[in-house]
Chains A and B, each alone.
Chain A
Amino acid sequence: MRSYHWMLLIGIALIVLGVYHEETAEILANAEMICFSCIGLG
């Protein structure tokens, strides 16, 4: 296996882990809540 095969494999494994990781899933589901803090108004 070449390095890019490993990278794709590790990447997909981490994505799957992220989707099933309870806290990550909750944060991603509420991503819109993050937006307002990022505008940097004041």
Chain B
Amino acid sequence: MFKKLIYKLKYRRAAQIGSLILGNSYFLPLKWCPTVGMNCYACPLAATACPIGSLQHFAVIRQIPYFLIGLFVAIGGFFGRMVCGWACPIGWLQEIIHKIPTPKWTIRWKPLRYLKYAVLVFLVLLIPYLTMEPWFSKLCFVGTVEAGVPLAIFDESIREMIGPLFYVKLAITVVLLSLFVFVKRPFCRFLCPLGAIYSLTNRFSYLNLQVDSGCTSCNRCQKVCPMDIKVYENPNSGECIRCLECTTVCEHVSLCAGKKQIQKNTKKGVEVHA
């Protein structure tokens, strides 16, 4: 067993950067494989497929996506929603933009959390199945940021194809990017269909959070939590992305593999047992 201190969770930053590079290394022949986080595969650099775009494509052609469901179940079974906190480029983008120093807004109205399930059921599955058109992708802000805008800027033939839908997408993107400045991870919390899928697996996953009996409900965890949740109320709620920020401020929260504790907090930082 060896111990290593992770000051300020630099491993998470490294994982987020690594995931962004891996998902957008154009030279890698991985388009057949969906990436684990949100990453538009129409992006000129994308090496992997978008899991939601692929899921929706299967809804459009009315086929059962065995491979995708298997991928979601296997990843969710091991990591739960940890993928959102450690490997999603869009989650990272939201965290970076939220660091802009402005007054912050707190949105804690719980029914908004269920909006992402509605997006998954209606916009990703049901409407594309009925209309045979990929409506989530047509409105997806990730596609606008990573593919729509860059392609429109650099490719004249694509610029000529721009119609009213593109401006709708652009408006959605501007609203969301502005919201990222003021609200903690609003896309993950309220809109992301991939987050909705992984959140269903959170309470069953191998990696999980545990809060010990010494917790005093002081709410320090909620202050640092990018998802703005009270970790002690339900450490394995569908909203927790297991970013482990809470473990840097509280010694009563720890990451466990099954029932075995693999990481606990110290006064200096996070200590990992491996």
Contact = CB atoms under 8 A, between A and B. Distances in A.
Interface of A: 2-4, 6-8, 10-19, 21, 23-24, 27-29, 31-32, 34-42
A37 B138 CA distance: 8
B30 to A, nearest CB: 9
Main SS at interface, chain B: helix
A31 B76 contact: no
Contacts of A3: 77, 204
Interface stretch (B6-14, B58-66, B217-225): B58-66
Given A4-B205, A18-B70, A24-B66, A41 B42 contact: no
B23 interface: no
Interface of B: 31-33, 40-42, 46, 49-50, 53-54, 57-58, 61, 63, 65-78, 134, 137-140, 143-144, 147-148, 151-152, 158, 161-166, 169, 201, 204-206, 258
A21 B41 contact: no
A31 B48 CA distance: 9
Question: In the complex, which of the residues B33, B74, B75 has the most CB atoms of chain A within 10 Å of its own CB atom?
Answer: B74
A5 to B, nearest CB: 8
Contacts of A38: 40-42, 50, 53, 134, 137-138, 140, 143, 147
Given A34-B53, A34-B57, A40-B137, A18 B65 contact: yes
Contacts of A28: 32-33, 49, 54, 67
Contact of B42 (A10, A16, A21, A35): A35
A41 to B, nearest CB: 5
A40 B76 contact: no
A19 B33 CA distance: 11
Contacts of A14: 66-67, 69-70, 73-74
B148 A40 contact: yes
Contacts of B70: 10-18
